[in-house]
Structure 1
Amino acid sequence: MDTMRDRFAPVVTRLLDEDLRVAVVLAEIGKDGFAEALRRHPDRVINVGIREQLLVGAGAGLALTGMRPVVHTFASFLVERPFEQVKLDLGHQGVGAVLVSAAASFDWPAGGFTHMAPGDVALLDTLDGWTVQVPGHPDEAETLLRHAVAAGDDRVYVRLSVQSNARGRTVDGEHFLTVREGRRGVVVAVGPLLDEVLDATEGLDVTVLYATTVRPFDADALRRAVRGAEPDVVLVEPYLAGTSTAAANDALSAVPHRILGLGVGRAELRRYGTLEEHTAAHGLDAASLRARISAFLGAGAPSR
């Protein structure tokens, strides 16, 4: 199976062909995938070199002229390093772009902590007006990329990952999906962690919601889910643990509830290892998730 990033360049190349507003801005990373697009659209495929602040600034400049820029590099170089430009060149000026990241939280452990960005979504939460898409499969990535580019002049962050669920699901760029229904709590699985959550909750009497659009947070879906279950919620996110707990608390402000936020821990893991080893070390593998979810929800009994 191809990866989300494998799907990125072909999808955006087709969008360049289809829509004269679309432009792509790169900072060396991913340029080989756009070689044919550069030949066909030399004025709308721009490589600024290893200059991430310029990367975002150039995208904002294109947006000011009415273009729909798609801006791409690793998450740590797209959100963290040029954060001032994301905040000012896009947000303060009131223009939009589609920021598409790669490497996620720790997709490339050999790159070290400079190439890891578990805090990217939490950082964007400090800004107003961002839509955040976290696909869990290449098919979903294609759908959400198209949705993001077509989203008028909104500011959209699409977080691509090597991690993937076994199959894609029908996503609409807005709502959570109900994958499983139960009565002893609600587990919200974000993007590529759905399969781990489904394995972890097999036989447990819990509702599983699947989130690929995490901002805006689908408060209505969470409120509906807790009506038929214990008002205890576990959030399982492929980035910094607790990133969405405030959004979930706001959604359930009228309901007595408990929330457990699971995700990437704050402690830096200084051994390179593999992606799977990092997943397990952060307690996001199925076995660890089952133990943590069961302990919190008291959901050890099988479903009826």
Structure 2
Amino acid sequence: MDTMRDRFVPVLSRLLDEDPRVALVLAEIGAAAFEDTALRHPDRVINVGIREQLMLGVGAGLALTGLRPVIHTFASFLVERPFEQVKLDLGHQGAGAVLVSAGASFDVSSGGFTHMAPGDIALLDTLDGWTVHVPGHPDEAEALLRHAVGAGDDKVYVRLSVRSNTAAVPVDGSRLRTLREGRSGVVVAVGPVLDAVLAGTEGLDVTVLYATTVRPFDAAALRHAVAAAGTDVVLVEPYLAGTSAGAVTEALAEVPHRVLGLGVGRRELRRYGSPEEHAAAHGLDAGALRERIGAFLAGRAVVTG
């Protein structure tokens, strides 16, 4: 199966062919994959070199001229390094763009901490008006990318990962999907952690909701699930643990509830290893999830990393 980033290249190339508003801005990373596309559209495929702040500034300038820029590189270089430009060049100026990241939290684990970005969505949460998509399968990534590019002039972040679920779920760019129904709690699985969540909760009497769009958060679907399954909510996110806890609290402001946020811990893992080893070290494999979710639902103490 191809990866989400493998899918991104041909899909974006077709969008550039089909829509004269679409532009692509790169900072060297990924440029080789778009060489043929750049020959066809030299005015709308721009590689600024290793200048991530400039990449955001150029994208914002294109947006202000009426184009729909897609800006792409690793998450740590797209959100964290040029954050001031995300805040000012896009947000302050009211310029829309589609930021498409690769690398996720620890996909490029051999590259070290410079290439890891578990805090990217938490950082975007400090800004207003961002839509955030976290696909869990290449088919979902394609659907959400097309949705993002066609979303008027909104500010959209699409977070790609090499980690993928075995099967795609139909997504619409807004709603949580109910994959299982239970009576003893609600587990919200985000993007590529779904397979581990389904395996880890097998046989447990819980409702499993699947999220690929986390901002705006589908509060209505969560409230509906809690009304039937109880007010214990577990968030399993493939980035910084607890990132969406505030969204859950806001959604359930009128309902007494408990929330457990599972995800990437704050402690830096300096033995980089593989992405799979990182997931296990952060307790995001099926066995650890089963133990932690079971303990929470039973009222026992949970180790959250």
Q: TM-score range by the shorter chain?
A: over 0.9
CA shift for structure 1 position 16 = 0.4
Per the alignment, residue 303 of structure 2 pairs with: none
Q: Which amino acid aligns with 2:77?
A: F
What is the DSSP-based 3-state SS (H/G/I as helix, E as strand, rest coil) of the residue aligned with 2:117? coil
Structure 1's consecutive aligned runs of 4 or more residues displaced over 2 angstroms after TM superposition are none
CA deviation string 1:190-227 (max 9, x = no partner): 00000000000000000000000000000001000001
Contact 1:184 1:299 in 2 (8 A): no
Per the alignment, residue 209 of structure 1 pairs with: 209
CA shift for structure 1 position 266 = 0.2
**Matching of residue 277 in structure 1 with residue 285 in structure 2:** no
CA deviation string 1:230-262 (max 9, x = no partner): 110000000000100000000001111000000
What is the DSSP-based 3-state SS (H/G/I as helix, E as strand, rest coil) of the residue aligned with 1:214? strand
| Identity level (%) | 77
**Matching of residue 237 in structure 1 with residue 268 in structure 2:** no
Task: State the alpha-carbon separation in 1 of the partners of residues 153 and 229 from structure 2.
Answer: 39
Contact 1:205 1:299 in 2 (8 A): no
Task: State the alpha-carbon separation in 2 of the partners of residues 45 and 249 from structure 1.
Answer: 42
Per the alignment, residue 268 of structure 1 pairs with: 268
Q: Which amino acid aligns with 2:246?
A: A
Per the alignment, residue 109 of structure 2 pairs with: 109
What is the DSSP-based 3-state SS (H/G/I as helix, E as strand, rest coil) of the residue aligned with 1:228? helix
Q: Which amino acid aligns with 1:190?
A: V
CA deviation string 1:161-215 (max 9, x = no partner): 0000001110000001000000000000000000000000000000000000000
Distance change in 2, residues 1:145/1:56 (3 Å): same
> Any stretches of 5+ residues in structure 2 without a counterpart?
301-305
Task: State the alpha-carbon separation in 2 of the partners of residues 173 and 71 from structure 1.
Answer: 19
Cα RMSD (Å) of the superposition? 0.9
Per the alignment, residue 6 of structure 2 pairs with: 6
Aligned length: 300
> Any stretches of 5+ residues in structure 1 without a counterpart?
none
TM-score normalised by length of structure 1 = 0.98
Q: Which amino acid aligns with 1:205?
A: D
Per the alignment, residue 57 of structure 1 pairs with: 57
**Matching of residue 84 in structure 1 with residue 84 in structure 2:** yes
1:138-177 aligned at under 5 Å gives the runs 138-177=138-177
What is the DSSP-based 3-state SS (H/G/I as helix, E as strand, rest coil) of the residue aligned with 1:168? coil
Per the alignment, residue 100 of structure 1 pairs with: 100
What is the DSSP-based 3-state SS (H/G/I as helix, E as strand, rest coil) of the residue aligned with 2:289? helix
Task: State the alpha-carbon separation in 2 of the partners of residues 32 and 224 from structure 1.
Answer: 47
**Matching of residue 16 in structure 1 with residue 26 in structure 2:** no
Task: State the alpha-carbon separation in 2 of the partners of residues 209 and 169 from structure 1.
Answer: 12
Task: State the alpha-carbon separation in 2 of the partners of residues 43 and 104 from structure 1.
Answer: 29
Q: Which amino acid aligns with 2:233?
A: V
Contact 1:190 1:212 in 2 (8 A): yes
Task: State the alpha-carbon separation in 1 of the partners of residues 213 and 299 from structure 2.
Answer: 27
TM-score normalised by length of structure 2 = 0.97
Task: State the alpha-carbon separation in 1 of the partners of residues 37 and 225 from structure 2.
Answer: 44
CA deviation string 1:8-31 (max 9, x = no partner): 110000000110000000001111
CA shift for structure 1 position 158 = 0.2
Per the alignment, residue 128 of structure 2 pairs with: 128
Task: State the alpha-carbon separation in 2 of the partners of residues 298 and 196 from structure 1.
Answer: 20
